[in-house]
Amino acid sequence: MTEFERAQNVLPGGVNSPVRAFRAVGRDPLFIARGKGGLIFDTAGREYIDYVMSWGPLIFGHAKEEIVSAVTEAAKGGLTFGAPTVRETELAEEIRFAAPYMERVRLVNSGTEATMSAVRLARGYTGRDKLIKFAGNYHGHSDGLLVRAGSGCMTGAVPDSLGVPASYAGDTLVAAYNDLAGVEALFAANAGKVACVIVEPVAANMGVVPPKAGFLQGLRALCDKNGALLIFDEVITGFRVAYGGAAQLYGVTPDLGCFGKVVGGGMPLAAYGGRKEIMELVAPLGGVYQAGTLSGNPVATAAGLAQLRLLRERRGTLYPALDAAGARLEAAFAAAGVPVGRVGSILTPFFAPAAPENAAEAAACDTRAFAVYFGAMLDMGVYVAPSQFEAMFVSAAHTEAHLAATEAAAAHAVASARKR
């Protein structure tokens, strides 16, 4: 019995997150034994250059010494207390330092919790029920947000989910990403009813799709005009595309922000926050209830704090280096004839005539060609996400040798896909 067959006997589809199943690329998933720096090693001992990086959080690579040491020391003192610790405060202070608009921060365990809680808070603050989201933007698997989502839903050709009541979906209004006129029309058709607009400021769950010039600024203006809150889902982009996230990179200040991935340093941890007067509606100060027994637990906060302190210390040189590495890989794919969506250290090569600007264009990509490309990359020892609609993540641990090997693999893999 293979590892995957064994897993399928106890786990639905043999996985705990659907895209890991490799169904979109016609293969069985790898089972990973360990990782170090820019590399992972499967249970058969094979070595791969890793550009999944646990879907983004490992900005310093696998098993970063300072982070592992912080986790080890924290665990020695106790895994969880269900009571406040100083690290929670320190981590929130680090987040606020990087994103000053987050005057108050609440720690949670996952990006889904962060976005779900931010939407609830926006509804509580405005007294309105409806929200506007964008096709192809994925904000976790809570009922009200799992409508025309990206990522695994696009990969599996399932635009929505069974089990989501129509009454939930009915309050979710969907616009096309990068289409301000569509958002304006939704506001007009639902005057006085929209609590918030939630957006991935850089879409990263239909492949990496940057915002058009003026798009985020336009959302800010429309929310102000209509009395709605603007929520940036920076679960992927926070501390990744810039030290202060996409809000800093594009110079747009949301009312609420959601962070995940990088803020946990590889542990399950996320956060949402924003202006003081909004956040003070969250229990115990206000009537918007949200709680979690393990939120801000000592081990996760130790990992997150160690990583954010490293980022703060090295931000002056780290982010330019990550951007340069991302640009180098973008150039390699472009030279092979594949358009690329990239912002900083996250990128996606698209098997399409041009890099898409929205979910409809992303959905038209040649996923069969991508599957051939994926297999060729894997056979050459480069591990990328097993979906056309995900990102590659460059880390500070990717060396010159890793990048050079990836350039060579990309040329071969794209050529193989074109010959299929």
Query: Which member of 48, 51, 138, 272 is catalytic?
Result: 138
Residue 243 annotated in active site = no
User: What's the CA angle centered on 235, arms 53 and 64, to 5 degrees?
Assistant: 35
Query: Which member of 125, 130, 177, 233 is catalytic?
Result: 233
Phi first, then psi: give them for residue 163, nearest 5 degrees.
90, -5
Phi first, then psi: give them for residue 340, nearest 5 degrees.
-130, 140
Q: Which two tokens stand for residue 152?
A: 């695994």
Query: Which member of 50, 64, 261, 272 is catalytic?
Result: 261
d(CA 92, CA 129): 29
Of 104, 419, 165, whose CA–CA distance to 290 is shortest? Answer: 104
Q: Which residue has the tokens 């990496």?
A: 208
Contact 367, 159 (CB under 8 A): no
d(CA 373, CA 401): 21
**E strand or H helix at 312:** helix 298-335
Residue 261 annotated in active site = yes
Residue 138 annotated in active site = yes
b/e 381-396 (16+ beta carbons within 10 angstroms → b): ebbbbbbbbbbbbbbb
Q: Which two tokens stand for residue 277?
A: 């007067």
Residue 63 vs residues 111, 278, 298, 363: alpha-carbon distances, Å: 22, 37, 18, 35
**Residues noted as catalytic:** 138, 233, 261
